[in-house]
Amino acid sequence: MDRAPISISLILVAVASLAVAQSAAPDTLLPVPKYAEQNKADRAVREKYKTELASRAPADRLALAHQFNEMAIAGTDPATQYVLFRLARDCAVNAGAFPYAMSIVDDTARVFAINAPEMKASALSIGIDTARGDPATLAGNYLKVADDALAKWDPDLASKAAYLAHKLARGNPALLADSDARDHAARLESHEVLDVMSAQRKLARDADDPQANFLIARHLCFHLNRCEIGLPYLAKSAPGKLKDLADKDLSAPSDPAAMAALADEWWDYTDPKGDLPLGSGHRRAAYWYAKALPGLSAERKAQAEKRIAESK
């Protein structure tokens, strides 16, 4: 994987509207303080914590990252608050705690109108040169960021983290394979998102297009686990077992026996084309088994509980 990470811009698949956009910052977010204000606050914080900041040991840097982040979350004047978030992020990166650095960026974005994806990518890039620790551990921490990003459908960040892990993993076949696997998963996610974008454009022209409805339903129901939004799309897909299941699901059975029967159908569903993630039917079955549980017989309840556990 000796190549630059994928370069598509961060795509936000909005679950409620399927709109692809970068939203404007809400009115409640503070603007990033001016550089002069930041510099003044930075000098004050560094003077107060000059002893702690002098240590380059990863454990000390991580402890300071937690301290600064907690202080920033607690709140103070905007300039000092922003500087504390920034120092916390930098200390976490210095410690090689890349997943925590990403969460600090998220904390910052809850207060200030920042470009969080750009800040995360920048922090990861800086870490390759400034983080202390053995290469294998640092590579593993980059892979944790990649996994978190994949779970949040952020293929750009996942690919970036996988690429940096690969650079640190030279000579370690297991880590090289792991970084390649994350990069491959990020590329698949990117294609999935692009498929959804294309399907959305098709539906703007023809709301009944079966394949476009299926692609959006697959993403919402079986990748994002948002069947309450995706099932109406699935019901407009091509005739077949999945469409039948969607129709039955949308009829919202209220009788425990009927709910359990629907769960059984989801559980037994097999995807002949391999278009769905593994376990997709089981996860939807677990939803209906859980709703049916209070009204089931002891034997049926035991089976349902076993299947719910197996679906996780």
Q: How far apart are CA 194 and CA 303, in angstroms?
A: 40
pLDDT higher for 138 or 22? 138
CA nearest neighbour of 292 among 282, 281, 303? 303
pLDDT tens-place string over residues 38-65: 999 999 999 999 999 999 999 999 999 9
Average pLDDT, integer, range 214-242: 92
What is the structure's pLDDT at 18?
41
CA nearest neighbour of 137 among 98, 173, 105? 98
Q: Among 2-6, 27-31, 202-206, where is mean pLDDT lowest?
A: 2-6
148 in helix, strand or coil? helix
DSSP 276-301: S-TTHHHHHHHHHHHHHGGGS-HHHH
Average pLDDT, integer, range 269-283: 85
Q: Are 126 and 142 in contact (CB under 8 A)?
A: no
What is the structure's pLDDT at 274?
78
Q: How far apart are CA 284 and CA 231, in angstroms?
A: 11
Which CA distances in Å does 73 have to 68, 77, 112, 139? Answer: 9, 11, 11, 29
User: Beta-carbon neighbour count of residue 224 at 10 Å?
Assistant: 14
Confidence of residue 27 (pLDDT cuts 50, 70, 90): low
pLDDT tens-place string over residues 122-168: 999 999 999 999 999 999 999 999 999 988 889 999 999 999 999 99
What is the structure's pLDDT at 216?
92
Confidence of residue 29 (pLDDT cuts 50, 70, 90): very high
pLDDT tens-place string over residues 69-93: 999 999 889 999 999 999 999 999 9
Q: Is the pLDDT of residue 23 over 60?
A: no
The pTM of this model reads 0.72
Q: Is the pLDDT of residue 2 over 90?
A: no
User: How many helices and strands (H and E) does the chain possess?
Assistant: 15, 0
Q: How far apart are CA 219 and CA 227, in angstroms?
A: 10
Confidence of residue 243 (pLDDT cuts 50, 70, 90): very high
Q: Is the pLDDT of residue 223 over 90?
A: no
Q: Is the pLDDT of residue 178 over 50?
A: yes
What is the structure's pLDDT at 11?
33
CA nearest neighbour of 302 among 293, 263, 311? 293
Task: Write down the mean pLDDT value for the chain.
Answer: 89
Q: Is the pLDDT of residue 104 over 50?
A: yes
The gap between the terminal CA atoms of the chain, to the nearest Å, is 32
Q: Are 216 and 199 in contact (CB under 8 A)?
A: yes
Average pLDDT, integer, range 190-199: 89
Confidence of residue 251 (pLDDT cuts 50, 70, 90): very high
What is the structure's pLDDT at 1?
56
3-state helix, strand, coil in the chain (%, to 5): 70, 0, 30
Average pLDDT, integer, range 163-192: 93
Average pLDDT, integer, range 292-308: 94
Q: Is the pLDDT of residue 22 over 80?
A: no
Average pLDDT, integer, range 7-24: 37
The H or E element that residue 136 is part of is helix 135-151
Most confident of 102-106, 186-190, 216-220: 102-106
What is the structure's pLDDT at 26?
58
240-253 burial, b at 16+ Cβ within 10 Å, e below that, comes to eebbebbebbeeeb
> In sequence order, what are the residues at sequence separation of 6 or more whose Cβ sits closer than 8 angstroms to the Cβ of residue 210?
236, 237, 238
Q: Is the pLDDT of residue 17 over 60?
A: no
